Amino acid sequence: MNGARQTVTVGPCPVPLPAGGDVRMRLGSAAMLAAGALLTAAGAASDLHRVAAAWMWGFTFVWTIVVGALFFVAVQHLTASVWSAVVRRVAEAVASHAWLVAVLFVPVVAFAWMPHAFHVFPWADPGHVAGSEALAGKAPYLNPLFFTIRGVAFVAIWAAYGRFFVGTSLAQDTGRAGADATVRMRRAAPVFVLLFAVSVTFGAIDWLMSLDPHWFSTIFGVYAFAGMFVTALAVVTLGVLDLRATGRLGSGVVRDDHVWSLGALVFGMSCFWAYIAFSQFMLIWYGNLPEETAWFQVRFAGGWEAVTVAVAFLRFVLPFLLLIARPAKTSVPVLATACAIVIAGQALDLYWLVMPGAHPDRALPGWIEMGPILAMTGALGLGVWRFLNRNPAIPVRDPLLDRSLAHHL
Amino acid sequence: MSDHAPAARALDPRLEPFPLVPPGTTPAQLDDAILRPIETFPTLRWWGAFAVAMSMLGLFGVALTVTVLEGTGTWGLNQPVGWAFDITNLVFWIGIGHAGTLISAILFLFRQHWRTAIARFAEATTLFAVLCAIQFPVIHTGRPWLALYWLFPYPNHNGIWTNFRSPLEWDVFAISTYGTVSLLFWYTGLLPDLAIARDRAKNPFRKVIYGFLSLGWNGSARAWHHYERAYLLFAGIATPLVLSVHSVISFDFAVSVVPGWHTTIFPPYFVAGAIFSGFGMVTMLVVLLRRFFRLEHVISERHLDVMNKIMLATSLMVGYAYAMEFFTAWYSGVLYEKFVFLNRALGPYAWAYWTMVSCNVFVPQLLWIRKFRRNPWLMYPIVILVNVGMWFERFVIIVSSLHRDYLPSSWGMYAPTWVEVGLLVGSFGLFFTLVLLFVRLLPAISIAELKHAAAAQQGGARHG
């Protein structure tokens, strides 16, 4: 794209250093942010309840992408992975926005404390809880104070570890930190993954499951994790494909062997999501207990049937059929389509989790619903491209990089 | 592998993957080390172990005879606990098999080359564990000679079919698929090694047998090409089986509406537990294998280290599932759910529950310490307790959920009879007998694959 860029040599390959390019992506992201912000503001003026529900949708979408990317980074260190060194920076660009999740969480706290203004969490309304024995029993867990404490702890964990993993990796670029930095990240990874498991599980319970506070499912944390991880993988893969196409990764650095590995992970995790989603649905369907089926009942009525089927297609059927063949995982159009479908599937899945509780009678999103998710995705996109325009798109002094470049299937 | 890496810069030794075999080991030395046990006369120690295993197997025969002659009334089953040791043992043994499939299939797809040293042995334990597992549902039918008729659907004159809605029928499909694929995968992997054993055989009798078993393997490029393709395909087919088999087993419980059984996390929770227990068993046996057959250089402390890390990870997953069950039982607000879990932790079977939690969650935390992951003496008590704990996990799930059901008037207690204990001990006898025969008759480590992986690593070209 820009031939005059300065380069560094990585192994045998020249890699361009950032020189501000990719105006296209930044403009697109800024346009999304502006349009989304306008819609959100206009929506807030007309229907606060709908905007608040839409905020939960957008917030959980950005949350799952950013924290999923952070998990991807940590897992590479946890497993001492070598092949992925060359694609890790793209995940780091996303993971470095854990602070954004913290910022977007602030209104969610307000939803919990001001139930009458927003009507997001039924358990937050003392009048509603007083009328239900079941909800009164959950009050020790589902109350605004404990909800806030948990949420603040979770976003703090992600922000701190995001800073640590990305900061340490960027420090390596200077060439001074060397192998010590990799060892430090490998040591930190197991503890992070433990904290991640707890925080994502209870984050999912608080921000998605508790929207219908009567419903419960022990697998829900795993369900949220599966969707989160496959989406982050798809985002990283799309980022890598785009950077490679625009020459930002140099030539011959990210080869088909790396792209195939990413595609295989997207394929595998789509199947894993399907496995978890099927386990949850089938067991509840087979048991047929009213306290569990009520949640699905809403999603199989009033126009939501189509959304339910679409979720299954976008999350599993289409990615599975597109990616099962070996050549598909290195074909740019096929892989990029599959990744876009996976990301759209995550958006629709979260819509399907959030919205039936807020307005069961309206299955299709209106303009109010689209505001927050557009704005937040635009903000994330803007930040990610800003990051990639300031830092090399691969960790140029990572000690494992030579071997990662030599990765052959 | 013709790919040539650019000359890799020297890597910090802390980041260097550990050597699959000690540097300088020649292929011939690997042949000698791995084939020695099948080319020499068994030691006295092996005969001793074999005698013990055969005695346990004899006990299985006695208990089985009593069960068949007298009926399942000789077991301690009664209302409300109509399922106990038999199904506990089924789930336990099927779980043991999962480490083998994970190691041979999933770790292969994830390019974990260290798996080569233990894959063959672990796969063999899978087959033997499946064999032990299927004894129990078949015996439990009471008239095992009619079991085929009851279990397998086939078109018949009376139009009588098995109950396809029952997860027990799904088990029949899941386990038979699992056993078949595992056997084919394992046997395909054996072919090149059987040919090595054939080529080295001096005794004409051995030569004929290994020659027959190796299906005429000639080591040509064409044969290797087909072999590698088949191996990859089998790995792909076996991977979903790692998840599906134990998920179907978990459906036996989870599709019901029994509190403590009906919970959505069961499928992945059972799979994690299965891998955990399987690694416990494989590690327990591999430590002995490497010591008594002098294979410490092929299965190094670093191999044990990685296996123990996987065990620690799956222990934490199992701990996560225990915690989620407890939390959700409270969060659900359902009276019966809450009661079942309180009864597990504080009721008459609390000793079994706390045995399970201690062995599966508390004790394995020692594996955070490197010394416990690498020193066989230190890890040994842990892996034995993992096996104990995982057996108790199934016992707790099954018995503690059944013994106090919705009606307090029908509450009761369960205790096994000597026949059930005999069948459990006897199934270990069957398993150990088969393992002991295996390590004496077939190469316990994949020689061809190990040579390949070691050569690739020393060439610096292949890194996962």
Query: Read out DSSP for A345-372?
Result: HHHHHHHHHHHHHH-TT--S--HHHHHH
What whole-number distance in Å separates Cα of residue B137 and Cα of residue B130? 12
Look at B15 and A80 and tell me if their CB atoms are within 8 Å. yes
Which residues is A13 bridged to in the sheet?
Answer: A10
Q: Which of B400, B230, B377, B395 is nearest to B329 (CA)?
A: B400
CA B2-B8-B13 angle, 5° bins? 125
**Residue pairs between chains A and B whose CB atoms are closer than 8 Å:** 115
Residue B172 lies in a domain: no
SS3 A132: coil
- pLDDT for B56 equals 97
Taking CB atoms and an 8 Å limit, are A218 and B268 in contact across chains? no
- Distance between alpha carbon A278 and the CA centroid of its chain, in Å? 21
Instruction: Identify whether A83 is part of a domain.
Output: yes
Nearest-angstrom CA–CA distance, B385 and B364: 9
What is the pLDDT, as a whole number, of residue A3? 45
- Is residue A231 a part of any domain in this protein? yes
Where is A189: in which H helix or E strand?
helix A178-207
What are the backbone dihedrals phi and psi of residue A8, each rounded to the nearest 5 degrees, phi first? Answer: -115, 155
Q: B176-180 contacts: CB < 8 A, separation 24 or more?
A: B177/B241, B177/B245, B178/B97, B178/B101, B178/B130, B178/B241, B178/B245, B179/B127, B179/B130, B179/B131, B179/B134
Q: Is residue B446 part of a domain?
A: yes
Q: Which chain A residues are within 8 Å of B255, Cβ to Cβ?
A: 282-283, 286-287
How much is the pLDDT for B148? 79
Pick the residue with more confidence: A362 or B50? B50
Per CB-CB distance under 8 Å, the chain B contacts of A400 are 11, 15
| Minimum-distance CB partner of B463 among A82, A197, A217 | A82
Considering only alpha carbons, which residue of chain B is nearest residue A399? B11
pLDDT of residue A5: 63
* Partner-chain residue, chosen from A276, A291, A406, that has the shortest CB–CB distance to B6: A406
Reduced to 3 states (helix: H, G, I; strand: E, B; else coil), residue B356 is: helix
Helix (H, G, I), strand (E, B) or coil at A213: coil
Q: Determine contact: B240 vs chain A, CB below 8 A.
A: yes
Q: Which of A297-301, B38-42, B348-352, B457-461 has the lowest mean pLDDT?
A: B457-461
Q: Is residue B156 part of a domain?
A: no
Instruction: Check B263 against A218: CB less than 8 A apart.
Output: yes
How far apart are alpha carbons B251 and B239 in whole angstroms?
A: 19
> Is ipTM beyond 0.90?
yes
Residue A114 lies in a domain: yes
Q: Which domain holds residue B301?
A: 20-150+180-463
Residue A23: what pLDDT?
Answer: 81
Q: SS3 breakdown of chain B: % helix, strand, coil, rounded to 5?
A: 75, 0, 25
- Would you state the pLDDT for residue A21? 61
Q: How distant is the Cα of A399 from the closest Cα of chain B, in angstroms?
A: 7
**Closest approach of chain B CAs to the CA of A82, in angstroms?**
6
Distance from C-alpha of A372 to C-alpha of A355, rounded to nearest angstrom: 14
CB B5 within 8 A of CB B269: no
Total structural domains within chain B: 1
Assess if residue A179 is contained within a domain: yes
For B10, which residue in chain A has the nearest alpha carbon?
Answer: A399
Tokens of A386: 């800003």
- Looking at per-residue confidence, does A22 or B409 come out higher? B409
* Best to test chain B binding among A75, A276, A279 (most B CBs inside 10 Å): A279
From the list B266, B324, B462, which residue is nearest A221 (CB)? B324
Q: Is residue A315 part of a domain?
A: yes
Q: pLDDT value at position B464?
A: 42
Q: Do B247 and A279 touch (CB under 8 A)?
A: yes
Radius of gyration of chain A (CA): 21
Residue B9 near chain A (CB below 8 Å): yes
Residue among A3, A17, A84 at smallest CA distance from A388: A17
* B263 inside 8 A of chain A by CB: yes
Q: How confident is the model at residue B461 (pLDDT cuts 50, 70, 90)?
A: very low
Residues B455, B20: Cα–Cα separation, whole Å: 9
How far apart (Å, rounded) are the C-alpha atoms in residues A368 and A51? 6
Distance from CA of B293 to the nearest CA of A (A): 30
Q: Which residue range forms the structural domain that includes residue A268?
A: 22-394
Residue A17 lies in a domain: no
User: Which of chain A's residues have a Cβ under 8 Å away from the Cβ of B262?
Assistant: 283, 287, 289
CB B176 within 8 A of CB B94: no
Residue A356 and residue A301 in contact, taking contact as beta carbons nearer than 8 Å: no
For residue B385, being part of any structural domain is answered with: yes
pLDDT surpassing 90 at residue B434 = yes
Global pTM value? 0.94
Predicted local distance difference test score (pLDDT) of residue B9: 58
Contact A289 B5 (CB under 8 A): no
Residues on chain A touching B316 (C-beta within 8 angstroms): 194, 197
Q: What is the mean pLDDT of residues B148-163?
A: 85
Does the distance separating the beta carbons of A178 and B254 come in below 8 Å?
no
Contact B424, B89 (CB under 8 A): yes
Torsion of CA A138, A139, A145, A150, to 10 degrees: -10
- Quote the minimal CA–CA distance from A359 to chain B in Å: 23
Q: In this complex, is the C-beta atom of B369 within 8 Å of any C-beta atom belonging to chain A?
A: no
> Considering its fold, how many domains does chain A have in total?
1
Distance CA B324, CA B331 (A): 10
Q: Work out the minimum CA distance from B247 to partner chain A, whole angstroms.
A: 8
CB A406 within 8 A of CB B6: yes
Give the best residue of B2, B11, B12, B15 to mutate against chain A (max A CB count within 10 A): B15
**Lookup: tokens for A27:** 């403009």
**Residues in A touching B324 (Cβ below 8 Å):** 201, 218, 221
Contact B359/B392 with Cβ under 8 angstroms?
yes
Q: Does B262 touch chain A (CB under 8 A)?
A: yes
Residue B152 φ then ψ, to 5°:
-100, 125
Give which of A248, A208, A252 is closest to A227, Cα–Cα.
A208
Which residues have C-beta within 8 Å of that of residue B391, sequence separation ≥ 6?
B88, B92, B277
Does the residue B8 lie in any domain?
Answer: no
pLDDT > 50? residue B3: no
Q: Would the CB atoms of A407 and B11 count as touching at under 8 Å?
A: no
Euclidean distance between CA atoms A128 and A120, whole angstroms: 12
Backbone angles phi, psi at B7, to 5 degrees: -45, 115
Confidence of residue B14 (pLDDT cuts 50, 70, 90): confident
Asked if B16 reaches chain A (Cβ–Cβ under 8 Å), the answer is: no
- Is B164 part of any domain? no
Question: What number of other Cβ atoms are within 10 A of residue A127's Cβ?
Answer: 8
Which pLDDT score, from 0 to 100, does residue B420 have?
Answer: 95
A179, A218, A407 ranked by CB distance to B264: nearest:
A218
Confirm if B101 and B242 have CB atoms less than 8 A apart: yes
Query: Average pLDDT per run of 10 along chain A, which is 409 residues long?
Result: 62 70 84 96 92 96 98 96 93 96 97 93 92 92 96 97 96 87 95 97 97 95 97 97 87 89 96 97 95 94 94 97 95 96 97 92 89 97 92 89 84
Contact A289 B251 (CB under 8 A): no
Do B9 and A402 count as a contact with CB atoms less than 8 A apart? yes
Q: Which residue in A183, A279, A289 is closest to B14 by CB distance?
A: A183
Q: Would an 8 Å CB–CB cutoff place B174 in contact with chain A?
A: no
Long-range contacts, stretch B352-355, CB < 8 angstroms, 24+ apart: B352/B392, B352/B395, B352/B396, B352/B399, B352/B400, B353/B396, B353/B400, B355/B388, B355/B389, B355/B392
Q: Does some domain include residue B5?
A: no
Using an 8 Å CB-CB cutoff, list chain A residues near B15.
80, 179, 182-183, 399-400
Secondary structure letter of residue B103 according to DSSP: I
8 Å CB contact of A178 and B17: no
**Interface touch A406/B11, C-beta < 8 Å:** no
Percent of chain B with pLDDT over 70: 97
Q: Rounded distance, CA A125 to CA A27, Å?
A: 42
Nearest-CA residue of chain A relative to B368?
A190
